Structure 1
Amino acid sequence: MKRPNNLFLILHLFLLLHFTSCKENIEYVNTLSGSEALNDGNKYITEVMIHDIFSPPVASRIYAYPNIAAYEIAVMADPKYKSLMGQLNGFEPTDFDIPDEIHFPLASITAFYEVGLQLVFSEDKLIEKRDLIYSDIKKKGIPDQTYNNSIKLGKAVADHVMAYAKKDNYHQSRSFEKHTIRKEEGTWQPTPPIYMEGIEPHWRTIRPFFLDSAAQFKSVPPTTFSKEKNSPFYNEALEVFNITNNLTKEQTDIAMFWDCNPYKMNVKGHVMFAEKKITPGGHWMGIASIAAKASNLDWKNTAEAMAFTGLAIMDGFIACWDEKYRSVLIRPETYINQHIDEDWLPLLQTPPFPEYTSGHSVISTAASKALTHLFGEPFHIVDSTETAYGLPVREFSSFKSAAAEAAISRLYGGIHYMPAIIHGQTKGAKVGDLLISKVKTRNDNLAEK
Structure 2
Amino acid sequence: MKHILSLIFAALFLGSCASEEQRPIEISAGDYHNAVDRITNIMVHDIFSPPVASRIYAYSNIAAYEIIAQNNDAFPSFSNTYHNFTDIPAPDTTKQINYRLAALVAQLETGKKLIFSEDDISTYQDSLYSIWEQQNPASFRDSKEYGLQVVAHMNEWINSDNYKETRTMPKFSVYSDDPSRWQPTPPTYMDGIEPHWEKIRPFALDSASQFRPQPHPEFSLSEGSDFYNELMEVYNIRREMDKTGDESEEIQMARFWDCNPYVSTQRGHLMFATKKITPGGHWIGVCKIAAKKSNLSFEETIYAYTATSIAIADAFISCWEEKYRSELIRPETLINKYVDENWTPVLQTPPFPEYPSGHSVVSGAAAMVLTHIFGNDFHYDDDTEVQFGLPVRSFTSFDQAAREAAMSRLYGGIHYRAAIEKGLVQGQSLGSYIVEDLELKPLQPQTAGL
The question of a shared fold, defined as TM-score above 0.5 by the shorter chain, is answered with: yes
Deviations along 1:259-312, one digit per CA (max 9) or x if unpaired, are 001121011222211101000000001111111111111110011011100000
Q: What residue identity is the alignment partner of 1:47?
A: N
Give the aligned CA root-mean-square deviation in angstroms: 1.9
Aligned pair partner of 1:155 in 145, 148, 154: 148
1:102 has 2:101 as partner: no
After TM superposition, give the deviation of residue 217 of structure 1 in Å.
Answer: 1.2
Aligned counterpart in structure 1 of residue 206 of structure 2, from 200, 206, 212: 212
Amino acid at match of 2:417: M
Q: In the aligned structure 1, how far is the partner of 2:202 from the partner of 2:299? A: 24
Which amino acid is 1:176 matched to? Answer: M
Q: Counterparts in 2 of 1:311-390, with a 5 A limit?
A: 311-390=310-389
- Whether the 8 Å contact between 2:70 and 2:90 is mirrored in structure 1 is no
Q: CA deviation at 1:94?
A: 4.2
Q: 1:66-81 maps to which residues of 2 (within 5 A)?
A: 66-81=60-75
| 1:86 Cα deviation from its structure 2 partner | 2.3
One-letter amino acid of the counterpart of residue 123, structure 2: E
Instruction: Pick from 162, 175, 178 the counterpart of residue 168 of structure 2.
Output: 175
1:165 corresponds to which of 158, 183, 200: 158
Matched with 1:275 is: 274
Aligned counterpart, 1:119: 114
Cα gap change, 1:411 to 1:25, in 2 (>3 Å): farther
Percent of pairs with identical residues = 48
CA–CA distance in structure 1, aligned partners of residues 52 and 405 of structure 2: 20
2:5 is aligned to: none
How many Å apart are 1:175 and its aligned residue? 0.6
Alpha carbons 1:316, 1:431 under 8 Å: kept: yes
2: CA distance between counterparts of 1:34 and 1:304? 14
- The one-letter code matched in structure 2 to 1:233 is F
Structure 1 stretch 381-390 or stretch 96-105: which is displaced more?
A: 96-105
**Alpha-carbon displacement from aligned partner over 1:185-221 (angstroms, at most 9, x marks no partner):** 1110000001000000000000001111100111122
Q: Is the 8 A contact 1:84 1:441 kept in 2?
A: no
Q: Is 2:84 the counterpart of 1:85?
A: no
Once the two structures are TM-superposed, the CA of residue 169 in structure 1 deviates from its matched residue by: 0.5
Where does residue 304 of structure 2 map in the other structure? Answer: 305
SS in structure 1 of the partner of residue 305 of structure 2: helix
- Which residue is 1:202 aligned to? 196
Distance 1:23-1:415 versus aligned 2 partners, 3 A rule: farther
Structure 1 gaps of 5+ residues are 1-16
Please give the per-residue CA displacement for 1:28-66, whole angstroms capped at 9, x wherever unaligned.
63xxx2311111111110111111111000000011100
Structure 2, unpaired ranges of 5+: 1-14
User: Per-residue deviation at 1:244?
Assistant: 1.3
- 1:298-334: per-residue Cα shift (whole Å, max 9, x none)? 1100110111000000000000000000110010100
Amino acid at match of 2:353: P
| Partner-residue secondary structure (3-state), 2:230 | helix
How far apart are residue 138 of structure 1 and its match?
3.3
Q: Deviations over 1:155-183 (max 9, x none)?
A: 11112222111111001110111101132
1:77 maps to amino acid: N
- Cα separation, 2, equivalents of 1:433 and 1:387: 30
1:128 aligns with 2:128: no
In the alignment, does 2:139 pair up with 1:146? yes
* CA distance in structure 1 between the partners assigned to 2:203 and 2:158 by the alignment: 10
* Distance across 2 between alignment mates of 1:137 and 1:377: 39
Partner of 2:226: 232
SS at the partner of 1:259?
coil
Report if aligned partners of 1:190, 1:196 keep a CA contact under 8 Å in 2: yes
For residues 293 and 442 of structure 1, the distance between their equivalents in structure 2, rounded to whole angstroms, comes to 18
1:118 match: secondary structure: helix
CA distance in 2, matches of 1:271, 1:149: 52
Cα distance in 1 between the residues matched to 2:199 and 2:291: 32
Partner of 1:267, secondary structure, is strand
Distance in 2, Cα, partners of 1:240 & 1:423: 16
Taking structure 1 as reference, are residues 387 and 153 closer, same or farther at Cα in structure 2, changes over 3 Å only?
Answer: same
What displacement does 1:149 show?
A: 0.6
For residue 150 of structure 2, what is the amino acid of its counterpart?
Answer: V
Deviation at 1:441? 5.2
Deviations 1:328-366 (A, max 9, x none): 001010011112111100000000000000000000010
* Contact residue 346 and residue 411 of structure 2 kept, 8 A: yes
Normalised TM-score (structure 2): 0.90
Paired residues, number? 421
Counterpart Cα distance in 2 of 1:265 and 1:94: 42
Normalized against structure 1, the TM-score is what?
Answer: 0.90
Q: Which amino acid aligns with 1:52?
A: D
Match of 2:9 in 1: none
User: Contact between 1:81 and 1:442, CA under 8 Å: does it hold in 2?
Assistant: no
1:63 pairs with one of 57, 66, 74: 57
User: SS of 1:246's equivalent?
Assistant: helix
CA contact (8 A) 1:80 1:442 kept: no
The code of the aligned residue for 1:297 comes to: L
Residues of 1 paired with 2:371 and 2:22: CA distance? 35
SS in 1 for 2:114: coil
Does 425-434 or 81-90 show the bigger shift?
81-90
1:437 matches 2:431: no
1:442 deviation in Å? 6.3
